[in-house]
Amino acid sequence: MIHHEPRPRPAPWVIRRSHLPHRWLVPFVAFDWAWEWVAFVLSRWNFLEVLEYLGSFSVLVAVIFYFSESGDRIKQRHYQAWQVINTAQGKGGSGGRIEALQELNADRVPLVGVDVSSAFLQGIHLGRARLVRANLSTADLRNSDFHLADFTWADMHSANLRYSNLQNTVFDNANLQEVDLVGCNLAGARLDSADLSGADLRFADLKGVAWKRLAAIRMANIAHIRNAPDGFIAWALQNGAIQKPSDE
């Protein structure tokens, strides 16, 4: 910050020079004495004080504009994330989709109808995501977190969800045919009208699963499932499920 107190008038050069003990100091003292005069003159120039106030005001205006335009910046960020997802649609690999999907979900943007079929999305975190009517068929989603996500009417056939967290997830009317759910945590999941035909449920945790309205479970492998609800295993076997311990 500029110091606005008027500086004392510098002593005349004759007096300043008379106090020098050595002549070789004259150039250095003269240089300093000249700048004292510059500082003296500027300290009495009110225009500089006005400039400082204007500078402070410009910072305030910049801050106001920054916050007022925050909504536009968020929209732009979301647009870029959707662009990444849509550009890679139908392709293998990640293509930046993990970061894009997680960013949108963190901002609570619904992912309704998103198509990430055949994508490599291992370890993605989409807890509480709204994935209604999403297409995740044949996607690699191993070791992912989808707790409390909504997969109503989603197409997940042949997706690999091994060892994922699907706790309290909604799969109403979802296509789960041939899906790999080995070792998944399905505790509290809802499966109303879901199709689990050919699904691999080995070692999955089914504690508290809402299963009584399942549409189909024919050829689903229920070997070594954990915490199966009362009556589930008997019902599943009666409706075509199998118990095959190994992949062979």
The per-residue pLDDT for range 63-97, each reduced to its tens digit, is: 565 555 555 778 899 999 999 999 988 777 788 99
Domain assignments of the chain as residue spans, ordered by start: 13-68, 92-248
Contact yes or no for 233/213 (Cβ under 8 A)? no
Share of the chain above pLDDT 90, in %: 65
92-248 carries CATH number 3.40.50.10800: no
41, with CB counted inside 10 A (0-12, 13-18, 19+), is exposed
Q: For the whole model, what pTM was predicted?
A: 0.72
How far is residue 130 CA from its own chain's centroid?
15
